[in-house]
């Protein structure tokens, strides 16, 4: 049976991400131990996946506008370029977004209305809310010509695993802005003052100390931590 390169790449990418997600959830800070665990979990190249099973489903409907046609109109041109160059998390400027994504973006950015999105797994719900937020922040950053300080956007997730799952996407999509457009995953695993990668990612706030001194415009947290921040005096700078 001939091997389909598309599915082969998809399996490899999913396997790698399953290993990354697992090591992230464990919260191991020692880089050598993390490397060893990744190697052990991915010995057979399938990570934590079982043998692949394919099932036919109806595709999600794509819109009639390409991403690059939205540049300078609905979406900020620099954001489209940043997403286009985001490596394995690339959202290509030559892609046609799904209809529900386009509808979500226009509802938030043009109609200035709130919305609820319900759709199937893998249909790009995260992009429905994250792209408009990044778009507004990118525009503010370009208008001010200075790094954004102070929380503008609050992402609330019920589980730390879901919080960690957004890290790679946010890292990739905001990389082009350096420290101008930062985010922080703020939960019980967030280090207080020291982190081995403290200066490695200028677009990510990795410690509570930095978050309190210079709050990132995007705060990703859970309800428990949010409640703590509201009552702890030491976190007052983040709330303000």
Q: Provide the pLDDT for residue 152.
A: 97
Q: Provide the pLDDT for residue 8.
A: 67
Three-state secondary-structure class, residue 224: helix
Shared-domain flag, residues 52 and 77: no
The per-residue pLDDT string of the chain (240 residues; one tens digit each, 9 = 90 and over) reads 445 566 667 777 877 788 888 878 887 778 888 888 888 887 776 667 676 677 777 889 999 999 999 998 999 999 999 999 999 899 999 999 999 999 999 999 999 999 999 998 889 999 999 999 999 999 999 999 999 999 999 999 988 887 888 899 999 999 999 999 999 999 988 999 999 998 899 999 999 999 999 999 999 999 999 999 999 999 999 998
**Cα–Cα dist 5/14, whole Å:** 14
Residue owning tokens 């190697």? 39
Alpha-carbon distance values, 234 to 77, 103, 139, 154, 212 (Å): 38, 41, 31, 19, 8
Q: What share of the chain is helix, strand, coil (3-state, %, to 5)?
A: 50, 10, 40
In sign, the C-alpha dihedral spanning 62, 68, 69, 73 is positive
Which structural domain range is residue 109 located in? Answer: 61-145
Residue 132, φ and ψ in degrees, nearest 5: -60, -35
**Total domains, the chain:** 3
Shared-domain flag, residues 234 and 161: yes
Count CB neighbours of 73 within 10 A.
10
- What are the strands of the beta sheet with 204-205, ordered from one edge? 153-156, 218-221, 183-185, 204-205
Domain end, chosen from 122, 145, 168, is at 145
Shared-domain flag, residues 52 and 73: no
Shared-domain flag, residues 238 and 151: yes
Domain end, chosen from 56, 79, 103, is at 56
Shared-domain flag, residues 77 and 11: no
Shared-domain flag, residues 21 and 83: no
Shared-domain flag, residues 31 and 66: no
Domain end, chosen from 124, 145, 166, is at 145
């Amino acid at each position: 049976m001939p091997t389909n390169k598309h599915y082969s790449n998809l399996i490899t990418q999913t396997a790698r991400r399953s290993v990354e997600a697992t090591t992230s959830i464990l919260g191991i800070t020692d880089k050598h131990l993390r490397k060893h665990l990744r190697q052990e979990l991915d010995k057979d190249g399938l990570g934590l996946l079982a043998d692949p099973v394919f099932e036919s489903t109806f595709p999600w409907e794509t819109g009639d506008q390409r991403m690059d046609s939205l540049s300078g109109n609905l979406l900020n041109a620099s954001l489209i370029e940043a997403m286009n160059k985001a490596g394995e998390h690339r959202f290509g400027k030559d892609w046609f977004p799904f209809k529900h994504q386009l509808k979500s973006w226009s509802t938030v950015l043009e109609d200035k209305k709130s919305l609820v999105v319900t759709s199937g797994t893998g249909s790009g719900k995260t992009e429905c809310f994250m792209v408009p937020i990044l778009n507004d922040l990118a525009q503010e950053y370009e208008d001010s010509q200075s790094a954004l300080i102070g929380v503008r956007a609050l992402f609330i997730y019920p589980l730390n695993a879901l919080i960690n799952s957004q890290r790679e996407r946010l890292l990739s999509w905001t990389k082009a802005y350096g420290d101008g457009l930062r985010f922080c995953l703020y939960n019980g695993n967030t280090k207080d003052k020291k982190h081995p990668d403290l200066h490695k990612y200028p677009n990510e706030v990795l410690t509570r100390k930095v978050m309190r001194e210079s709050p990132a415009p995007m705060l990703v947290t859970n309800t428990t931590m949010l409640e703590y921040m509201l009552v702890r005096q030491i976190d007052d700078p983040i709330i303000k």
